[in-house]
């Protein structure tokens, strides 16, 4: 283990991010669609509203919340690598979609949205690096 604190901080950032999307999307999908993030109205700028889709996204994010919390608690390297790799794939695709759908955004909101989505690509590699190689080998560049 290279740095348990770094891994836990990175995973905690992901827990907070996932739960802040997951709870409102799963429990109040229409409010999530209309007001997320926190009354900035980013989601409703890409219509149409679909309760099933928004609720499913909430469930997906809550599932990631559980896995990130579990990974932070145990720091089991295989779990950390698996959940962070899965998140990187989903987050990169999410960022790519939003980067191509900015027509209804003013410049400040477009920059804020893309920056916040891009930021979520940083914690996973940090957590993966911090838990190190499961066999205890030192990685060589």
Report the domain count for the chain.
1
> Residue 117 pLDDT > 50, yes or no?
yes
27 located within any domain: yes
137 located within any domain: no
Give the residue ranges of DSSP H helices in the chain. Answer: 4-27, 29-35, 51-74, 77-99, 107-119, 123-131
Interatomic CA distance for residues 7 and 9, integer angstroms = 6
pLDDT digits (tens, 9 = 90+) for 80-95: 999 999 999 999 999 9
Confidence of residue 139 (pLDDT cuts 50, 70, 90): very low
pLDDT digits (tens, 9 = 90+) for 19-45: 999 999 999 999 999 888 876 788 888
pTM of the model: 0.88
Instruction: Print the domain residue range for 71.
Output: 4-131
Identify whether the C-beta of residue 20 lies closer than 8 Å to the C-beta of residue 5.
no
Residue located via tokens 């959940």: 83
Query: For the chain, what percent of residues have pLDDT higher than 70?
Result: 92
- Three-class SS state of 77: helix
97 located within any domain: yes
141 located within any domain: no
């Amino acid at each position: 283990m290279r740095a348990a604190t770094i891994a836990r901080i990175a995973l905690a950032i992901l827990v907070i991010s996932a739960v802040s999307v997951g709870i409102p999307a799963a429990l109040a999908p229409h409010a999530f669609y209309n007001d997320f993030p926190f009354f900035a109205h980013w989601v409703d700028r890409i219509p149409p509203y679909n309760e099933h889709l928004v609720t499913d996204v909430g469930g997906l994010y809550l599932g990631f919340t559980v896995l990130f919390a579990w990974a932070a608690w145990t720091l089991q390297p295989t779990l950390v690598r698996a959940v962070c790799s899965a998140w990187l794939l989903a987050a990169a695709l999410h960022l790519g979609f939003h980067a191509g759908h900015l027509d209804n955004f003013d410049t400040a909101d477009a920059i804020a949205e893309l920056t916040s989505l891009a930021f979520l690509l940083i914690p996973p590699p940090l957590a993966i690096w911090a838990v190190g190689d499961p066999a205890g080998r030192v990685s060589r560049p």
